[in-house]
């Protein structure tokens, strides 16, 4: 298993995709029910493969991630070969990312900002999955691009 099994709630959301996945593997509903009862290990393997397939297809689409904890905002641009971090740190705590960004022009001297680019440690998708599982939110590029404007251009 590359990622983890889908939860029951997640399974419900991907019911149509699972039916298609079974069909591609030559299984209709009665065959799947029979396989689950007669060959549990094979059924478990099919479900594991489906879970990995779903996570792989979702993670492949991730372009930006965000971690926020009140006084730190870490934004990640997730390219194919490397990940770029823009880290905004404040002396004050904020209730939301929006409040932090709104305060930036008024309190610029209370913030520090930096950028770092590094290659992935192993598989891009596995690394992004671990980040998402540990609390990173999938976001768009707006705040990343805004903060990148405060940094010298070094091809990021």
Residues 99 and 135 in one domain: yes
Percent of the chain's residues with pLDDT above 70 = 98
Residues 39 and 73 in one domain: no
Residues 87 and 52 in one domain: no
- Tell me how crowded residue 96 is: count the other CB atoms within 10 A of its CB: 10
Residues 47 and 84 in one domain: no
Please, is 17 exposed, middle or buried when counting C-beta atoms within 10 Å of its C-beta (0-12, 13-18, 19+)?
middle
The predicted model gives 131-154 an average pLDDT of 91
pLDDT tens digits along 2-24: 999 999 999 999 999 999 999 99
Residues 17 and 71 in one domain: no
Q: Write the CA distances from 22 to 2, 3, 106, integer angstroms.
A: 19, 20, 56
Q: Cβ contacts of residue 112 below 8 Å, gap of 6+?
A: 88, 89
Q: Which domain holds residue 112?
A: 64-148
Would you say residue 155 lies in a domain?
no
- Tell me how crowded residue 3 is: count the other CB atoms within 10 A of its CB: 19
Q: pLDDT grade, residue 154 (50/70/90)?
A: low
pLDDT tens digits along 59-108: 999 999 999 999 999 999 999 999 999 999 999 999 999 999 999 999 98
Would you say residue 153 lies in a domain?
no
Domain termination residue (choose one: 59, 80, 95): 59
Look at the chain and report how many structural domains it folds into.
2
Q: Is the pLDDT of residue 58 over 90?
A: yes
Please give the torsion angle defined by the CA atoms of residues 11, 46, 124 and 88, in that order, rounded to the nearest 10 degrees: 20
pLDDT of residue 153: 72
Residues 133 and 89 in one domain: yes
Residues 104 and 49 in one domain: no
Residues 81 and 15 in one domain: no
- Tell me how crowded residue 92 is: count the other CB atoms within 10 A of its CB: 12
Q: Is the pLDDT of residue 155 over 70?
A: no
Residues 46 and 112 in one domain: no
The predicted model gives 148-154 an average pLDDT of 80
Would you say residue 110 lies in a domain?
yes
Residues 73 and 130 in one domain: yes
pLDDT of residue 151: 86
């Amino acid at each position: 298993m590359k990622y983890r099994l889908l939860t029951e709630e997640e399974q419900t959301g991907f019911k149509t995709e699972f039916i298609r996945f079974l069909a591609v593997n030559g299984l209709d509903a009665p065959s799947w029910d029979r396989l689950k009862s007669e060959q549990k290990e094979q059924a478990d393997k099919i479900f594991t493969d489906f879970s990995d397939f779903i996570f792989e297809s979702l993670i492949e689409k991730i372009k930006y991630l965000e971690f926020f904890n009140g006084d730190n905002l870490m934004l990640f641009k997730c390219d194919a070969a490397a990940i770029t971090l823009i880290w905004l740190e404040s002396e004050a705590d904020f209730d939301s990312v929006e409040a932090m960004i709104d305060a930036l022009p008024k309190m610029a001297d209370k913030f520090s900002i930096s950028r770092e680019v590094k290659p992935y440690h192993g598989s891009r998708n596995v690394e992004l999955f671990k980040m998402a599982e540990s609390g990173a939110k999938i976001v768009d590029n707006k705040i990343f691009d805004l903060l990148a404007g405060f940094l010298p251009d070094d091809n990021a």
